[in-house]
Chain A
Amino acid sequence: MAEIAGHTIPNRSPLLAFLERWFLTTNHKEIGSLYLWLSFVLFFIAGAMAMVIRLELGQPGMQFTDPLFYNQMVTMHGLIMVFGVVMPGFVGLANWQIPIMIGAPDMALPRLNNFSFWILPFAFTLLISSLFMEGGAPNFGWTFYAPLSTTYGPPSTDFFILGVHLMGVSSVLGAINIIVTIFNLRVEGMTLMKMPLFVWTWLITAFLLVMVMPVLAGAVTMMLTDRHFGTSFFSAAGGGDPLLFQHVFWFFGHPEVYILILPGFGIASQIIPTFARKKLFGYHSMVYATASIAILSFVVWGHHMFSVGMPLAAELFFMYATMLIAVPTGVKVFNWVATMWRGSMTFETPMLFALGFVILFTIGGFSGLMLALVPADFQYHDTFFVVAHFHYVLYPGAIFGIMSAVYYWLPKWCGNMYDERLGKIHFWTAVIAVNMTFFPMHFVGLAGMPRRIVDYSIAFADFNMVSSIGAALLGVTQVLFLYIVIKAIRGGEKATSQVWEGAEGLEWTIPSPAPLHTFETPPQFPAPEEAYKHE
């Protein structure tokens, strides 16, 4: 490895050169790849935990796990999927794409970028190591309600707390970097209202991150001092209030769920116009809708805790505020559909995933509306209906969003087209398996099957068996995805610089694969027609 992308590197041992390249890199593309690979690895780890959960729930009774281990699996699956898969996945995409979409040579703060990534492997080592400790891993659910996590948490809870602190630092630094990049490094002529929507949604997401990750850090710090330093933030015995934990947590938690989906909205808004060969319908309303979703997300946290005994006035407020979010979300869905209207559509894999995203995310949105209704929520609360709801918005929402982005931009990243036939097989098995896994959960939830419990009434046996078979299929499908990605990296049909016939934007004017350094001289914006056609 004496020469990397045109740089001559003095003779070193290959190992040293490798370490130097990946540990010390400040290049946004390399850091983006690191984020995406970390996310991919953790996707399989947390996915394996989901397999354990579904294996256990395939039949009533306890076959493979005990309640304690089952609870650890549920907790770790949730924590890793949220903080280790979806968030780093989106940050990886942001790192790769934002500079080349706004015509910047790199992120504004490249060394900070390196730091924010390299915190993460340590954070997740801390978190995952708790599985091997005496007393087991955290077992109180990803929401870590007090006093389960304070008075009754296992000793490894402290590793979890430190892990969350590290993830928080990483996310906040990453978000600050993204905001500074977007505000300062846009190419001349690209005003805010001319930015690609992926950049817009990420800008708003980054603000959410900067504002709520510190609140999460505050919550876990209070937990830590409650556990070890004699404070009573969440302990009624000392004058505190366990309910306060839920308020603080969901003040973070609700904006967090939009952090997990807004970049996905941006991805769909890039992909659908490309394959419909039309301009995005309602660009301005898309931006305003995203911003209003983000603002509203700060005043709806109470809908996660309707059943704690809130006064009626608060329940009404949170109910109406929550239902209000359906309006901007509806605007977005309408705009996506209107973009496709009379477009000349083709259905390559990224488009298929984007369409799956729009349809299935909308189903998840509807069950969210059902959950927003106070009287109905009293029945749905803590049942599998909730599990069905958030898996519909997170799997075919966030994860399909990331997958469609990977298929869409992978030819730009590695210079080769992925195998279209395998991609289509991946999509169709995934979409069937997702519905098989999560749709029956609506029914068992409405019938009263509680979440987070290892065993269940035999009345729910059949639907659970269907879910488990679907989950196994879904798991296998993702191995196919890994194969497709590796196959494309290793070779395949060469991609043109524009890659997709209808693609527009600065990222499609650079060669495929994207050279390590791009836009050292600022490009022309908007890109002239011939800029897409070189090679």
Chain B
Amino acid sequence: MSENRNKQAKHLILLSSLAFGMLGFSFALVPLYEIFCEVTGITGKTSSIVAVEPAAVMQESEREVTIQFLAQVARGMPWEFRPTEHQLRVRVGEVNLTSYYARNHSAQGVTGQAVPSVSPVNVSRYLHKIECFCFTEQYLGAGEDQQMAVRFYIDEELPEEINTLTLSYSLFNVPGLESSSLAFASHQP
């Protein structure tokens, strides 16, 4: 009987560790998902690492593609936010400069953060941003405005069938830094 008890205790411990292990696994899914998306680029998330200037010898090809710029502002974010140019025709390999315009229309300072995304999702790795305002927090005082530059080039490896790319920025306000943003985050009907 006591042998049986020991066996039961062993099973109990094994099964409890399995349960706790799975709880740990559910949290491990967060970084795993992040890595998976980064490696495969499937969510259209662009790399948060700023690309380096292409080598000087980089040859510009004759191939041209269209790149479109989109801007979205999260609900409750009191900013005007739009690309200065909606569409550019660019040569593959060539470094281009464009910008987004942001203006804080509210009566108090607000910190915002833009999250970029590229469509079609599997080409995000061919769009290299040398200078951008992605993933960094931007502060604008009441009524202030700002031009935010994006310098980028398109990799020569870009698959043949792609003629148009879309770069989209979603602008969120960063909760916790201003009282207005907190109100936005937690008191929606």
> Is the CB–CB distance between B42 and A311 below 8 Å?
yes
B113 in complex: contacting residue of A212, A237, A251, A252, CB < 8 Å: A237
Answer whether A214 and B26 are a contact pair too, CB < 8 Å, given A238-B175, A311-B122.
yes
- The answer to whether residues A214 and B12 also contact, given A230-B176, A244-B30 and a CB cut-off of 8 A, is no
Q: How far is the CB of B186 from chain A (nearest CB, A)?
A: 7
B59 part of interface (Cβ distance < 8 Å): no
The 8 A CB mask of B149-189 against A (1 = contact, 0 = none) is: 00000000000000000000010111110000000011011
Contact call A109/B12, Cβ cutoff below 8 A: yes
Complex: chain B residue closest to A236, CB-CB: B115
- In the complex, are the beta carbons of A183 and B11 less than 8 A apart? yes
Q: Is the CB of B22 within 8 A of A214?
A: yes
> Once the chains are docked, how many angstroms separate the CA of A239 from the CA of B174?
10
Of the candidate stretches A215-223, A317-325, A426-434, A475-483, the one touching chain B is A215-223
- Indicate if B8 sits at the interface (CB-CB under 8 A): yes
| A184 close to B8 (CB less than 8 A) | yes
The answer to whether B135 touches A239, judged by C-beta atoms less than 8 angstroms apart, is yes
- Cβ of B169 to closest chain A Cβ, rounded Å: 12
> Given the known A-B contacts A214-B23, A247-B33, are A227 and B11 also in contact in the complex, defined by CB atoms under 8 Å?
no
Residues in B with CB closer than 8 Å to A215 are 22-23, 25-26, 29
Q: In the bound complex, how far is the Cα of B172 from the Cα of A277, in angstroms?
A: 67
Q: Which residues of B contact A311 (CB under 8 A)?
A: 40, 42, 121-122
Residue A179 is within 8 A (CB to CB) of chain B in the complex: yes
Q: What chain A residues lie within 8 Å of B15 (beta carbons)? A: 176, 179-180, 210
> Are the CB atoms of B188 and A176 closer together than 8 Å?
no
Counting chain A residues whose Cβ lies within 8 A of the other chain, the interface size class is 35 or more
Interface size on B (CB < 8 Å)? 39
Residues of B3-33 contacting chain A, CB below 8 A: 4, 7-8, 11-12, 15-16, 18-23, 25-27, 29-30, 33
Contact B42 A310 (CB under 8 A): yes
A241-B33 in contact (CB<8A) = yes
Min distance, Cβ B138 to any Cβ of chain A, angstroms: 13
Asked whether, in the complex, the Cβ of A248 is within 8 Å of the Cβ of B29, the reply is: yes
B82-104 CB contacts (< 8 Å) to partner A: none
Count: A-B pairs, CB below 8 Å? 96
Report the Cα distance A172→B17, complex, angstroms: 11
Q: Which residues of B contact A152 (CB under 8 A)?
A: 188-189
> What's the Cα separation between A213 and B186 when bound, in Å?
28
A108 close to chain B: CB less than 8 A: yes
Q: Is A237 within 8 A of B174, CB to CB? A: yes
Cα of A252 to Cα of B19 in the assembled complex, Å: 13
CA distance A210 to B14 in the complex (A): 11
Query: Is the CB of A211 closer than 8 A to any CB of chain B?
Result: yes
Tell whether A51 is near chain B: CB-to-CB under 8 Å.
Answer: no
**Does A151 touch B at the CB level, under 8 Å?**
yes
Among the listed A176, A213, A243, A248, which residue makes an inter-chain contact with B12, where contact means beta carbons less than 8 Å apart? A176
Please provide the chain A residues from 243 to 270 with a CB less than 8 Å away from any CB of chain B in the complex. 243-244, 247-248, 251-252
B173 contacts across to A, CB distance below 8 A: 237
A413 at the interface (CB under 8 A from B): no
Give the residues in chain B near A241, CB-CB below 8 Å.
33, 37, 43
Q: In the complex, what distance in Å separates the CA atom of A217 from the CA atom of B176?
A: 26
Mask, B132-147, CB within 8 Å of A = 1, is 0001000000000000
Contacts of B18 in A (CB 8 A): 210-211
A contact residues vs B (CB 8 Å cutoff): 108-109, 151-152, 172, 176, 179-180, 183-184, 210-215, 217-219, 222, 227, 230, 233, 236-239, 241, 243-244, 247-248, 251-252, 309-311, 314
What are the 4 A-B residue pairs with the smallest beta carbon separation, nearest first? A218-B26, A237-B172, A214-B23, A214-B22
Sample of 13 A–B contacts (CB below 8 Å): A109-B12, A151-B185, A176-B12, A180-B15, A210-B15, A210-B22, A211-B18, A213-B19, A214-B19, A214-B22, A214-B25, A215-B26, A252-B26
